[in-house]
Structure formats: structure tokens, C-alpha cells
Amino acid sequence: MRLFRSSPAERRLLLEGRLAGPMPWVIAIMMFLTALAAASGLALGSAARSLGEDLAGRLTIQLPEANPVTREAGKQAIISELRRLGVIEKVEPVSDDQLAALLEPWLGDQGNEADLPIPALIDVTLRRATPADIAEVRKAVGSVSQTARVDAHARWLAPLESLLQSLRWLAAALVLLMAAATATIVVLAARGALNTHRPVIEVMHLLGATDQQVAALFQRRIALDALLGGLAGLAIALSVLALVGSRMSGIGSELLGSASLGLSDWALILCLPLFGALLATVAARLTILFALRNTL
Amino acid sequence: MATIVKFENVGLRYGIGAETLSDLSFSLERGGFYFLTGASGAGKTSLLRLLFLAQRPSRGLIRLFGEDMVTLPRDRLPLFRRRIGVVFQDFRLIPHLSAFDNVALPLRVAGTSERDIERAVSEMLAWVGLADRISARPATLSGGEQQRVAIARAVIGRPDILVADEPTGNVDPDMAARLLYLFDALNKLGTTIVVATHDVHLLSRVGAATIMHLDSGRLQDPTGALRYPPQREGAA
């Protein structure tokens, strides 16, 4: 199928300049929005993955014990018990200084000196994050202390991860909607071009041109217009992404930092104008072949 | 001579009005020369449109090159159209193409190489006296020049049938004689020629031509020359 190839003589058959009409510019806008939506979706996917990898295997054990001596003894007993388990990668008690730093926003810098029963905390990292492994940790901790509580980090951040996934699906839906809108624009443009050039098409038909030959004239022109429009839209989108990226790196947030684009993500975004041109070509070809079916 | 076109009880109706063409039954022979005459509105152009496959009949049977054109799938029509050259009454030249590109169009549609096109089109334009207007666009050509470009486009592909609707309407008598000479030369090479005309002088220029006269959409065939099988005047 001759999607893009045509001779200079064939190109002369349709009288119009490059980027004539509104279609390339509308496609540029659609491509700009598509590239932003795609980049957002891919970055959110990366953030969700990173969040899941970071938190899935992490647990915090709280030992609420008012007596500091008993608390310290319980903490050490739990650490010893956990280190015997094969599912554990790392066990690390949270030091008093770290606890004080964590509580400072609420208790002030005198918090440690106040006579408050602060629980002992132990950070645990599992080799894998299966429910069975977490249950094994709970069992081991329970065997040492009935009051100790095991908190899986993934549970607390599950709503955030779910939100990120929802936003990612929303971005994917936006990309699909944009593709559908682009195809619709191409269909309308192809119908318009067909009406404009109807006398030429009639003559070509009577001289023995096939529907495929007629469609080839239009699809190449529309594909090139879509490609040029798409490249313009992508260029603007890349500028915006670069600006947003520099602003995000300035914030220094761990969560925002994880919302980054990998090499494959960039390759996908850079290929969007090609996908757009291909979509436009197929839409134009089908529209023209369908319309010509109603003629003799 | 073999039959190249055969009409049997063909009728053509546009919309729900009366039939424009009624009960047409005739055959055309390969290598024959036919003049189609009749008053304005008699149906000459409609009959030509059936011949060059721009229209299907409302009823009846049309066979071209031995194939039934009434039931032929539309995706097979292009190959048959390439065997028919057409000179339209309104020329139908493509306004933004040069004379060269207009004449070259049938060859390009048929997939001829650009080298062959260059040679054939230049020769053809020289033959119709337009060698110096090769790059001119139709709007810059006179009516007669446009008609010659249209004729050159119709004959460039050496068609089996040449259908011409008033081909000499806009040219001077000298050019009309030259065009008729071109048609006659093509006819001698085996092309069947069908010329619709009002020009009574043209009819006497081709002695061997058969005259088909249309009157209110019906074909007058007093000599029987158009019947199938053909019955020449004086034949047993």
C-alpha cells in the first residue's frame, strides 16, 4: 500500500499549498495536549511504581510501653526475634534522637524531656512483600509482646498509590480521546478536500483511475500535514515539559522526584507525531474509499 | 468485424421523470466510425455517458468488449475505462495542470513510465499544434486550444473506443479537418470512433461512417446498419 509515496506529477494534481487549511494547526494543538497527557500518564506510572517498590516491603513496629526499661528490653527482644526470620532484609531501631526529631513539630524541642510515654519504633524491611511474610513478622512480634503493633507502610500509602493509578488511567483515557478527536478532524478534512477536488476526481475516474489511486493522493497530503502539525505541537509540549521538570526538581520532593520519565517514555513521546500521521493516513484513506464507494 | 459494443433494449431515466433514452438496441463494430446526430436534448450526451461508463442504464443490457457492463463490479470499471478515450463537450481539463500534465493524465493513471510519457505527450501536443503551449494552463488557452488538449488527452492512450462529444465545436474549419484526420487515422489503426456532432459538414468528411440518429431518446436506424448482427444496406 502506497501510504506516503507519490510522484511530483501526482502531487500537482491537488492544488493546495503545504499546511493549507486549519487541519495542521488543530492537529498541532491536539498533539500538544496529547504529549502533555502522555507525559503525565507515564510520569505518574513511574511514580506509582517507585512508591510501590519503596514502600511495599517496609514495616514499622510500635511498642507502646510507659516504662523505659521494659520498653528497651521489649524492643531488643523483638529485634532479636525478627533477625532470626529468613524473610527479613533489615531491622533497624529508630533512635531516640530520630524520634525527637519526628515529634518536634508537635511537642517542641522540650518534648523529650517531658514525661511522656513515647513508644519504641523499629523499622523493618522485608526481602519480599507478600502477605505471608507480613503475617510471619506479626506472629514473631506477637510472640514477644502482646502490645506491639505492626504497621505495613503500603497500607497507609495505598490510597495515594490508588490515586496515582487513577490519574494514570485518566491520562491514558485523555490520550485516547485526543486520538479519536484527531481522527474526527482528519475525517472532516478529508471530506472537505474530497468535495473541493470532486471535479478532478470525476475526471480521474473517467480516465480509469482506481479508488486507491485517488485515495493515495489525499492520504499522502493529509499524512504530511498531520506530521508537520504533530511535530509543531510536540515541540511546544517538550518546551512545557522541560519547564515543568525544572520547577519540579527545584521543589526537591521525594514523591515529585519519583514522577520522572525514563528513556523508553521519552522515545514513546517523541514517536507521537509519527503515530498521529499514521492515524491521519488511515483515517483519510478509509474516509475517501468509503465516500468513493457511493460514486460510479 | 467483431462487435465491440452491444446495447439491448437499453433505457435510461434520471430520477422519476420520463425516460431520456428508450429501447436502444444496436451494436458497434471494432474499427467502425460512427456519427451520433440529433437535436439538442435528443439524448446524445446521455448515450455517450453510457458508452464511456459514466452512467449505468436504468434497464436493458450493455456489453463492452464482451463483458456485461450493467452488472460489472465497480472496482473492475477502471480497467475498461482505460480502453475508452473521451472528449467531453466541456473539455473537463484540470485547471491547475499544464497542457502537458492534462494530456499525460491517462498515461499516469495507467502506470506508464515518465520517460515514455514525456515522449508520447510531446509528440501528441505537437501533432495537435500545441508544441509551443506545452506548459500553458487551460485558463491561458483559447477555446480551440483547450479542445485540442482535450482531444490529445482522449487519444494519447490509444483507446479501443474513442467517444467525442461535439469535438469540433470550438475549432476553425482547418483545425476541424485536422482533428477529423486524426480520428480517421486512429480509426484505421483499429479504434472504434463515436462522434456526437451537430456539424453536418463533418458527416460527409468520413465516407465509411455510420450515422446514428437520435430522436427524443430513440435511435433511428433506417438502414439497419446498427442492428445485431449488422445488416448493411443492400445485403441479402
pLDDT for A180 equals 93
Mean pLDDT of B131-155: 91
Residue A258 sits in the same domain as residue A128: no
B78 and A204 in contact by Cβ < 8 A? Answer: no
Residue A87 sits in the same domain as residue A24: no
Residue A177 sits in the same domain as residue A39: yes
pLDDT for A12 equals 77
Which segment of B47-51, B55-59, B167-171 scores lowest on mean pLDDT? Answer: B167-171
Residue A47 sits in the same domain as residue A171: yes
Distance between A200 CA and the closest CA of chain B, angstroms:
6
Q: How many CB atoms lie within 10 A of CB A193?
A: 23
pLDDT for A158 equals 74
Residue A136 sits in the same domain as residue A169: no
Distance between B188 CA and the closest CA of chain A, angstroms:
23
pLDDT for A31 equals 94
What CA–CA distance (Å, rounded) separates A181 from A177?
6
A251 CB near a chain B CB, below 8 Å?
Answer: no
A121, A147, A173 - which closes a domain: A147
Residue A181 sits in the same domain as residue A288: yes
DSSP category for residue B209? P
Residue A259 sits in the same domain as residue A126: no
The residues facing B3 across adjacent strands are: B29
Q: What is the pLDDT along chain A (296 residues), one digit of tens a residue?
A: 455 556 777 777 776 655 567 888 999 999 999 999 999 888 888 887 777 776 777 888 888 888 888 888 888 888 888 888 888 888 888 887 887 787 777 777 665 565 677 888 898 888 877 778 888 888 888 888 888 888 887 777 778 778 888 888 898 999 999 999 989 988 998 888 888 888 889 999 999 999 999 998 888 888 888 999 999 999 999 999 989 888 877 776 666 666 778 888 899 999 999 999 999 999 999 999 999 988 87
What CA–CA distance (Å, rounded) separates B154 from B92?
11
pLDDT for A276 equals 92
Residue A200 sits in the same domain as residue A231: yes
Number of domains in chain A: 2
A209 and B109 in contact by Cβ < 8 A? Answer: yes
Mean pLDDT of B128-145: 91
Q: What separation in angstroms does the CA of A226 have from each of A18, A21, A216, A284?
A: 11, 12, 15, 11
Instruction: Give this complex's ipTM.
Output: 0.87
Question: Does some domain include residue A58?
Answer: no
Please give the share of chain B, as a percent, with pLDDT higher than 90: 54
| A87 in Cβ contact with A136 (< 8 Å) | yes
Considering only the beta carbons, identify the residue of A207, A211, A296 that sits closest to B106.
Answer: A207
Question: Does some domain include residue A193?
Answer: yes
Residue A46 sits in the same domain as residue A75: no
Chain A residue closest to B74 (CA)? A296
Q: What separation in angstroms does the CA of A240 have from each of A33, A172, A248?
A: 11, 19, 12
Chain A residue closest to B150 (CA)? A203
3-state secondary structure chain A: CCCCCCCHHHHHCCCCCCCCCCHHHHHHHHHHHHHHHHHHHHHHHHHHHHHHHHHCCEEEEEECCCCHHHHHHHHHHHHHHHHCCCCEEEEEECCHHHHHHHHHHHHCCCCCCCCCCCCEEEEEEECCCCHHHHHHHHHHHHHHCCCCEEEEHHHHHHHHHHHHHHHHHHHHHHHHHHHHHHHHHHHHHHHHHHHHCHHHHHHHHHCCCCHHHHHHHHHHHHHHHHHHHHHHHHHHHHHHHHHHHHHHHHHCCHHHHHCCCCHHHHHHHHCHHHHHHHHHHHHHHHHHHHHHCCCC
Considering only the beta carbons, identify the residue of B54, B79, B94 that sits closest to A206.
Answer: B54
Question: Does some domain include residue A160?
Answer: no
**Residues B190-226 pLDDT 10s:** 899 999 988 777 777 777 788 888 988 898 875 666 6
Residue A265 sits in the same domain as residue A140: no
Considering only the beta carbons, identify the residue of A7, A13, A206 that sits closest to B81.
Answer: A206
Question: Does some domain include residue A201?
Answer: yes
pLDDT for B235 equals 41
Question: Does some domain include residue A85?
Answer: yes
| A234 in Cβ contact with A28 (< 8 Å) | no
Closest to B108 (Cα-Cα) out of A152, A137, A213, A99 = A213
Considering only the beta carbons, identify the residue of A10, A203, A211 that sits closest to B92.
Answer: A203
pLDDT for A107 equals 75
Question: Does some domain include residue A178?
Answer: yes
Question: Does some domain include residue A57?
Answer: no
Residue A244 sits in the same domain as residue A289: yes
Residues 6+ apart with CB under 8 A from B209: B33, B34, B35, B203
* Three-state secondary structure call for residue B37: strand
A9 and B108 in contact by Cβ < 8 A? Answer: yes
Cell numbers that stand for B171 in this block:
475549432
A207 and B97 in contact by Cβ < 8 A? Answer: no
pLDDT for A221 equals 85
What would you report as the CA-atom Rg of chain B, rounded to the nearest whole angstrom? 18
B110 and A199 in contact by Cβ < 8 A? Answer: no
Question: Does some domain include residue A156?
Answer: no
pLDDT for B234 equals 43
A114, A147, A180 - which closes a domain: A147
Mean pLDDT of B123-150: 91
Residue A127 sits in the same domain as residue A30: no
Distance between A288 CA and the closest CA of chain B, angstroms:
15
A206 CB near a chain B CB, below 8 Å?
Answer: yes
List the domain range (segments joined by +) for residue A118.
65-147
